Amino acid sequence: MSILEIGDHLLDLVERVDIVFWPCVMDFKRHDVETMPGGYIDLCFVNGGIRNEENEDMVRLLRDRSSIMVAHGSCACEGGIPGLANLHSTDSLLDRLFGAGESTVNPSGTIPGPTNRTLEGEAVDLPGLLPGVRTLSQVVDVEYRMPGCPPDSIQTWSVLEAVLGGRLPPPGSVIGAGERCVCDECKLERNGVPVKRFVRPHHVVPDNTHCLLEQGIVCMGPATRSGCRAACISAGMPCRGCYGPPHGVADQGARMVALLGSLVDSRDPDEIRRILDDVVDPVGTFYRFGLPGSSLGRPRR
Amino acid sequence: MKSGRLDPRVVSARTIRKDEVYLDAATRKFEPVILAFLCNWCSYSAADQAGCSRRSYPANVRIVRIMCTGRLDPGHVIEAFARGIDGVLVCGCHPGDCHYVDGNCKAAGRVWLLDRMLEQTGIEPGRLRIEWVSSTEAQRFAELAIEMTEQVRAMGPIRWPFSESAGTEARRGSR
C-alpha cells in the first residue's frame, strides 16, 4: 500500500511498467500468478512476514515467478510488530485471542484452523499457523531489503527510478535507506548529557530542540538505520526503530542496550539498575519492528 | 567435575558453537557450558592466579578475556545463548576500581537490561550474572565458577525460545 504514497509518480510508473499482481490495490488472484512462467515478474515487492501456511505458499510461488524480489517494509525485512508474537507460544496466543481474552465471547470454543467447518458442516479452507513469525528472507531467497514502517515514499520512488534506470546495487543490499543511523539525519541538538531517569513519551512534554535521549526518552535513533529523514523525531516523537539496525550492526536491541548502559549518569550499580528499571518492556521497545530478524529472536541454527 | 580430568566432549573444537546438549562421558549426565567474560585487569588475573595456585574449578567454564567488561557487547551475550551456551558469567573490577574509570558500571547496566530482556523471552534468571572479582580474589573466582556451574546444571540445558524445532513446547511459560 505504501507504494501508493508515491502519488503522481504512479502515473509515470504505469507508463513504463505493466502491473501484473497487486492484490492490495487491483483485482488479481493467485491463479493469475500460477499461470505465469518462471521468472515472469521482473520486480516483485513483497510486504508482510510469514505467519501461516498460506503466506509461505504464496511467497514460494511468487519467488519462482519473479526475477528480483524485494522485501518491502519492516514486516518482510525484519518481522515487524507481529513478530513480537514470537515471545509467546502459538497455543497461548490462540487462547488469549479466542479463549481467555477479556472481550472474547466464544462459547463453542472455536479456534480458527484447518479443521474448521461451517455451520452446515462443510470444510473451511483455512491455512494453519506456523510455529512463529519469520522474515521473508528466512523463507525464500531475497535480492533486496527495503525497510520502513512504512517505507518512506521519496525512498520508494527513488528505488523504482533506480530499477527503471537499471541502477540497482548488487543483490543482498538494503535499498531505499541510508547506511548510518537516524541520529545522522536528526536535527536535534546533542550535548552528551547523561541521564538520571528515564520517562515514557506520554509522561512529559519534550523539548523539541534537544536530543530526546538526553531528556530520558528512549529514542531508538542511535540503533536504527537512516533513510526516513528522522520523520518521527521531527514530529515530536522518539524514533521507534522501524528501519532496523544500521549497516554492520547485527542486532538492534543489543546496540540499544549497549547505548543505554553508557548513558546512565551513575557509578553505583544499584542506582544504575533503579534508573534502568524505568525502561519498560525492553524487548518490545528495542525489537518493536524486528524480533524475528534479530539475533535474539531468529530461529536457532 | 574438577579440572585436571577434562572430558574431551566438554572441551571439544566446538567449544563455542554448541549443537547438542553435552553429556558427561562417564555419568551420561548433562554438563552445562558456561562462557565467562573476564576483565583483563582484575578477574582474568584472578582466574590466572586460581590456576597457578592449583585451585580447582569446573572445566565447564570457558574463559574469554576482554579488556574491560565495558567492552562486552550485549550482542556477544545474546549470540552465546542463541548458539546454545547454557550460562554467561561476566566478571569485572569492583565498582570504583575500573581501569577505564567506569566501564564496569556501564557493563552492570547492560547486563541488567539484558537480564530483563532474557526473562521476557523465557530464559530463567541466573543464566546471566555479573560479579566483581579483583585480581587478588582467586578463591572467590573459583567459588563463583563452582557455584554458577552447579546452579546452571540444576537448571538444565538452555531452551532457547526461538528454536523452530523445539516448537511450542520450548516457548511455553514465556508469558
Contact residues on chain B for A272, CB-CB shorter than 8 A: 105, 108-109, 112
| Confidence bin at B95 (pLDDT 50/70/90) | very high
> Is A177 or B167 the better-scoring residue by pLDDT?
A177
| Residue A49 and residue A80 in contact, taking contact as beta carbons nearer than 8 Å | yes
Contact assignment for A269 to B171 by CB distance below 8 Å? no
pLDDT digits (tens, 9 = 90+) for A246-300: 999 989 999 999 999 999 999 999 999 999 999 999 999 999 999 999 988 876 5
| Residue A273 and residue B108 in contact, taking contact as beta carbons nearer than 8 Å | yes
| Residues of chain B numbered 41-100 and touching chain A (CB < 8 Å) | 70, 73-75, 77-79, 82-84, 95-96
Contact residues on chain B for A91, CB-CB shorter than 8 A: 168, 172
Contact assignment for B78 to A251 by CB distance below 8 Å? yes
| Residue B89 and residue B144 in contact, taking contact as beta carbons nearer than 8 Å | yes
Give me the interface pTM, i.e. the ipTM. Answer: 0.88
Task: Compute the nearest-CA separation of A199 from chain B (Å).
Answer: 16
| Confidence bin at B75 (pLDDT 50/70/90) | very high
Question: How many Cβ atoms from other residues are within 10 Å of residue A203's Cβ?
Answer: 11
Distance from chain centroid for Cα A280: 21
Mean pLDDT, to the nearest integer, of A164-181? 93
Mean pLDDT, to the nearest integer, of A101-127? 86
Looking at the predicted structure, is the pLDDT value of residue B7 above 50?
no
Contact assignment for A272 to B105 by CB distance below 8 Å? yes
**What pLDDT does residue A300 have?**
53
Single pTM value for the model: 0.87
Contact assignment for B174 to A87 by CB distance below 8 Å? yes
In angstroms, what CA-CA distances link B15 with A21, A154, B139, B141, B165?
Answer: 49, 48, 25, 21, 22
Give the highest mean pLDDT range of B24-38, B71-85, B130-144.
B130-144
Mean pLDDT, to the nearest integer, of A84-100? 89
Distance from chain centroid for Cα A126: 25
Minimum CA–CA partner of A194 in chain B:
B106
Mean pLDDT, to the nearest integer, of B76-81? 91
Contact residues on chain A for B117, CB-CB shorter than 8 A: 253, 257, 282-283, 286, 296
d(CA B49, CA A116): 66
Mean of all residue pLDDT scores within chain B? 82
Q: Which amino acid is at B71?
A: R
* Cell numbers describing residue A236: 515530536
Contact residues on chain A for B106, CB-CB shorter than 8 A: 261-262, 264
| Confidence bin at B19 (pLDDT 50/70/90) | low
**What pLDDT does residue A116 have?**
83
| Confidence bin at B1 (pLDDT 50/70/90) | very low
Looking at the predicted structure, is the pLDDT value of residue B117 above 70?
yes
**What pLDDT does residue A125 have?**
83
Task: Compute the nearest-CA separation of A124 from chain B (Å).
Answer: 25
**What pLDDT does residue B14 have?**
39
**What pLDDT does residue B18 have?**
52
Q: Does residue B150 sit at the A interface (CB-CB below 8 Å)?
A: no
Which range is least confidently modeled, A102-106, B38-42, B66-70, B156-160? B156-160
Q: Which amino acid is at A16?
A: R
Q: Does residue B161 sit at the A interface (CB-CB below 8 Å)?
A: yes
> Is A144 or A114 the better-scoring residue by pLDDT?
A144
Minimum CA–CA partner of B74 in chain A:
A254
**What pLDDT does residue A211 have?**
96
**What pLDDT does residue B114 have?**
96
- Contact partners, residue A63, CB within 8 Å, separation at least 6: A69, A140, A141
**What pLDDT does residue B163 have?**
55
Contact residues on chain A for B122, CB-CB shorter than 8 A: 87
d(CA B34, CA B80): 9
Contact residues on chain B for A266, CB-CB shorter than 8 A: 105
**What pLDDT does residue A131 have?**
85
**What pLDDT does residue A134 have?**
93
Percentage of chain B exceeding pLDDT 90: 65
User: Scanning the structure block, which residue is given the C-alpha cell 536504527?
Assistant: A224
Give the highest mean pLDDT range of A60-69, A128-137, B117-126.
A60-69
Looking at the predicted structure, is the pLDDT value of residue B20 above 80?
no
Looking at the predicted structure, is the pLDDT value of residue B82 above 90?
no
| Confidence bin at B6 (pLDDT 50/70/90) | very low
pLDDT digits (tens, 9 = 90+) for A211-234: 999 999 999 999 999 999 999 999
Q: Does residue A86 sit at the B interface (CB-CB below 8 Å)?
A: yes
Phi, psi of A266, rounded to the nearest 5 degrees: -165, 150
**What pLDDT does residue A299 have?**
62
d(CA A278, CA A217): 10
Minimum CA–CA partner of A278 in chain B:
B113
Mean pLDDT, to the nearest integer, of A17-46? 93
**What pLDDT does residue B174 have?**
31
Mean of all residue pLDDT scores within chain A? 92
Q: Helix, strand, or coil here: B61?
A: strand
Q: Indicate the residue of B82, B112, B171 with minimum beta-carbon distance to A300.
A: B82
Contact assignment for B117 to A132 by CB distance below 8 Å? no
